[in-house]
Amino acid sequence: MTRFQHPLKLLLLSTSVGALGSGLGGGVELTLKNIAQALKHQGHQVTIVAPAHSVLEGVPLVTIAGNLQITAQTQGGDALITLPPNAVLGNMWAHARQVQHEYNLLINFAYDWLPFYLTPFFERPIAHLVSMGSLTDAMDQIIEQIAVGFPGTIAVHSRAQAETFQFADRCRNLQNGFDLSLYEFCAQPKRQLAWVGRIAPEKGLEDAVAAAQIVGIPLKIWGVIQDRVYWNQICADYPDAAIAYGGFLPTSELQQVLGQSQALLMTPRWVEAFGNVAIEALACGVPVIAYRRGGPAEIVRDGETGWLVEPDSVDGLVNAIAQLDRLDRQACRRQAEAEYSLEAMSDRLEAWFETILKKV
């Protein structure tokens, strides 16, 4: 059931670090797809603006040419605000400015300075879904400015993510939602562990590899290799670990192989804003062993749908793997259904839009 008498016209602006479908956008790609689907299901009209070469079926997509942004997580706290020449980010927002009057609300998915800075210059309201925690002073400042000047327009994916910012109490926690019909429950896993995500230092893959080497269980790895040097170093450091890299798979294939795993290991070094892969695993009946930090610590029910482990402790991971048989795979699927369905997400999204549109 929608809260709105008339369907809304919504313009969703994607991340500008990669085309949709490339994997470079990390969790934002699936989040955007899921949110578009949830809103469409509620009867709203959704259009997505994304970099050239983006692929997404079932939703009108406007693709925009231009050079991609550099990812924020690779820069230091005092990083300058940068745009390449002919920036796709600038081009996407120039398009948004031109068409804004055809929409009730614009929704920004980019963790970039420009859309926040532009907010007061637009005539239509802009809702910002912030996909990462605090990374640079410049971003903290501009997001706070909008959180104060446009109350209620900033949303995040977890409390832990909000708390990395000084203005945590001004952030709305939307968590996330998934089309659970796309994930098949698997009762009988193979003898394998899984690790899924962008292969980049903030994701801490080496700890999962170290743990897998100690317990002697094969570790299957899926995701885009974003940092090739980092990946080569891991392969060199753990020559005896039974690791197998499976590439970057579309959801339909990922869920099948992920589902056959005894557990998903989540070993981030940073405050993971949410961790989409945690829900994807739970939806397949796969328990999640995660460091007790960031989004995963708010998702995993310790001792029921996974184990929460002392951050950065490989021993902790090893102990948790030894206790996997105490967990019920059905309970994992049930948690995903109860908390992270598209229906639950639609409700949280509409409540957010309602507060923003009431203020206009």
Other beta carbons less than 10 A from residue 250's beta carbon: 10
Q: Residue 286 or 356: which CB sits closer to ligand UDP?
A: 286
Let me know if 291 is exposed, middle or buried by CB neighbors in 10 A (0-12, 13-18, 19+).
buried
Decide if residue 196 touches ligand UDP (CB under 6 A). Answer: yes
With a CB cutoff of 8 Å and minimum separation 6, the contacts of 320 are: 263, 289, 307, 309
Structure tokens at 159: 């409390």
217 φ, ψ to 5°? -110, 135
Decide if residue 30 touches ligand UDP (CB under 6 A). Answer: yes
Are 332 and 286 in contact by the 8 Å Cβ rule? The answer is yes
Q: Residue 241 or 284: which CB sits closer to ligand UDP?
A: 284
Count the residues of the shown chain that bind ligand UDP, applying the rule CB under 6 A: 18
Q: Residue 225 or 357: which CB sits closer to ligand UDP?
A: 225
Among 37-45, 106-114, 196-204, 319-327, which window interacts with ligand UDP (CB under 6 A)?
A: 196-204
Are 291 and 267 in contact by the 8 Å Cβ rule? The answer is yes
State the binding string over 204-233 for ligand UDP (x if CB under 6 A, else -). ------------------xx----------
- Return d(Cα 11, Cα 60) in angstroms, integer: 10
State the binding string over 3-22 for ligand UDP (x if CB under 6 A, else -). --------------------
Residue from 26, 66, 177, 259 binding ligand UDP (CB under 6 A): 26
Q: Residue 206 or 280: which CB sits closer to ligand UDP?
A: 280
Decide if residue 197 touches ligand UDP (CB under 6 A). Answer: yes
Residue from 271, 277, 308, 314 binding ligand UDP (CB under 6 A): 277
Decide if residue 254 touches ligand UDP (CB under 6 A). Answer: yes
Among 324, 288, 326, smallest CA distance to 191 is for: 324
Residue from 93, 109, 178, 274 binding ligand UDP (CB under 6 A): 274
Q: How many CA atoms lie within 13 A of 187 on its CB side?
A: 0
Helix (H, G, I), strand (E, B) or coil at 315: helix
Binding site for ligand UDP (CB under 6 A): 23, 26-27, 30, 196-198, 222-223, 248-249, 251, 254, 274-277, 280
